[in-house]
Amino acid sequence: MLTPNLLEISPSLYRLRIEGGLAHLLNSYIWIDADGVTLIDTGWPDSAQLISDSLSTLDRGHSDVRRVILTHFHDDHSGSAAEIANWGDVEVVAGRDEAAYVTGAEQGPVAVLTAKEKSIAGEVTQPPHGPACRVDHLVDDGDVLDFAGGTRVITTPGHTPGSIALYLPEPSVVLTGDSVAEFGGDVILGVINTDRAEASRSLIRLAETGADVAGFGHGEPCLSEASARIRAAIDPFSDV
């Protein structure tokens, strides 16, 4: 068994580092309470075993997984969702404007890269789909999910058209997906977006949550003053 790289970023909430692949410090998140397990993002298409091992480390199993929430369709986030969705009685949750890309009903959009983004990612010509996964529950901005004191869905278009983020009020945590990231010690606007201007507006909406802690799709978490740090995020991959 692999030794999972787990970090408890607030009570009941664990960050799982997804090792391997080309992505910068890729993360999924695991919420555990008496009702079971909620997974937020699922890593690459080969990450299900690592997530299974992580649950074992936390004294949970496949049958404890109640819900998988996908922040967006990219293969480093939705990659293992289809496999995990078959572990048991699992509800797959995605944004209303993202679900067609997750299910494969529609081809997702290709990001518009800045010159600096091209220097790290090369030319992107295909949308990075993972294996198609069913979606059971479409969510809209302001919808509330029954965990962590009533987790609020925040639609965050920009990285992809239907990206979502989550605000967990009980631990005061925002999980940003790829709308925000940590890179080299800085909080930054997420990279490789379909619409950078819209992504910048979405970032401000995440700052407005007032969250103390932030967990990013990529990078190290922000364990204090998260909202202020997101509001002050820099954009090192801008061409301007």
Does 182 engage in binding with Zn ion (CB under 5 A)?
Answer: no
Burial group, residue 100, by CB count within 10 angstroms (0-12, 13-18, 19+): middle
Nearer to Zn ion, 74 or 196 (CB): 74
Minimum CB distance to Zn ion smaller for 10 or for 71: 71
SS3 10: strand
Q: Is the CB of 176 or the CB of 209 nearer to Zn ion?
A: 176
Q: Do the Cβ atoms of 111 and 193 come closer than 8 Å?
A: yes
Is residue 178 part of the contact set for Zn ion (CB under 5 A)? Answer: yes
CB of 1 to Zn ion, least distance (A): 28
In 19-150, beta strands by DSSP E: 26-33, 36-40, 65-70, 91-95, 137-139, 144-145
CB 5 within 8 A of CB 19: yes
Q: Which is nearer to Zn ion, 83 or 178 (CB)?
A: 178
Residues 6+ positions from 5 with CB-CB distance below 8 Å? 16, 17, 19
Pairing of strands 213-215, 186-189: unpaired
Stretch that binds Zn ion, among 7-15, 49-57, 141-149, 176-184 (CB under 5 A): 176-184
Binding track, positions 104-133, relative to Zn ion; x by CB under 5 A: ------------------------------
DSSP code at position 225 = S
Q: Minimum distance from CB of 193 to Zn ion (Å)? A: 9
- Residue 74 interacts with Zn ion (CB under 5 A)? yes
Q: Which is nearer to Zn ion, 75 or 172 (CB)?
A: 75
Binding site for Zn ion (CB under 5 A): 74, 178
